[in-house]
Amino acid sequence: MPFIKAEVSTPVNKAQEETIKSRLGKAIQLIPGKTEAGLMVEIVDNCKLYMGGNKDADTAYVKVEFMGTLEDEYSEKITAAICTLLEEELHIPQKRVYINYESFKQWGCNGKNF
């Protein structure tokens, strides 16, 4: 039951939104047992994001939430995939992308907890 929220300083058109959603669906599969079928994605564009005290270049903040634990080798792969995706699709420099991982012991959906 992962959730990925991508906040970006750039505008995102419908085609880019669809591509980003699909590529995040592939990236989440880098975590064993996680699939696009269980993934929820939120894309927030035109955010006012400052990095290093400035808005000199496009910037992104991505939050990846999931149930369970995440070993370093998998977070490294997902970080690389997300940074590459945002650079290719929105021209956001990888050095201006922050990614936060948060795991939960419990997660609820469809009237029950997992």
- pTM score, two decimals? 0.93
1-53: pLDDT as tens digits: 899 999 999 999 999 999 999 999 999 999 998 999 999 999 999 999 999 99
- Class of domain 3-113 as given by CATH: alpha beta
Sign of dihedral through CA atoms 33, 35, 40, 43?
positive
Identity (one letter) of the amino acid at 112? K
35 HSE (CA, 13 A, CB side): 3
45-54: pLDDT as tens digits: 999 999 999 9
To the nearest 10 degrees (0 to 180), the angle between helices 14-28 and 72-90 is 170
Would you kindly state where each structural domain of the chain is located, as residue ranges? 3-113
